Amino acid sequence: MTDMKIAPGTEITLHFALSIVGGDDVDSTFGAKPATFNYGDGSLLPGVEAKLLGLCAGASETFTLAPEDAFGQRNPANIQRFPRSQFAADMALEKGLVISFADAARAELPGVVSEVSDESVMVDFNHPLAGLNLTFRVEILKVSAQSAVKS
């Protein structure tokens, strides 16, 4: 069934490259092992999955994703200031450092240090790709019926 189209209930094997419009690849499977997932399992952003609907094995497409279809707009409320005293005195805090915090549900929440002073540390919890237009390049290798057994 080589003409099977991507739809709910299908398993998809593909190569992809995600890049900032006009910039370098952020993530890519080209030149590596392809990705395999079940449509709708959360492996891809909903905005990307919607663009894959109806494609068959052999298709190669390039999509531009607005922030709303990717990682959303940057939210100023996701940038928080913490007292420097909340961090270990010997912790080397510098701009760009990624620190893992626990959210209210105790899930891991990464934040990027955006500013450091003697009194405070500014941490940005926005996704690093939030607010950016992205290019998603995809090559569909295989589309098949989703297997009943999950591995």
Compute the distance between CA of residue 15 and CA of residue 145 in angstroms, rounded to an integer.
19
Residues in the chain: 151
Task: Please give the structure tokens belonging to residue 126.
Answer: 């926005």
Helix or strand holding residue 138 (H, E): strand 134-145
1 falls in which pLDDT band (50, 70, 90)? very low
10-71+130-145: which CATH architecture? Roll (3.10)
pLDDT digits (tens, 9 = 90+) for 41-91: 988 888 899 999 999 999 999 999 999 999 999 999 999 999 999 999 899
How is the chain split into domains, by residue range?
10-71+130-145, 76-124
Task: Please give the structure tokens belonging to residue 35.
Answer: 């990705």
Question: Quick check: 82 and 123 in contact, CB under 8 A?
Answer: yes
Compute the distance between CA of residue 36 and CA of residue 7 in angstroms, rounded to an integer.
14
pLDDT digits (tens, 9 = 90+) for 80-131: 999 999 999 899 999 999 999 887 788 888 999 999 999 999 999 999 899 9
Question: Quick check: 131 and 75 in contact, CB under 8 A?
Answer: no
CATH number of 76-124: 2.40.10.330
Local structure of 141: helix, strand or coil: strand
Helix or strand holding residue 51 (H, E): helix 46-52
Question: Quick check: 93 and 116 in contact, CB under 8 A?
Answer: yes
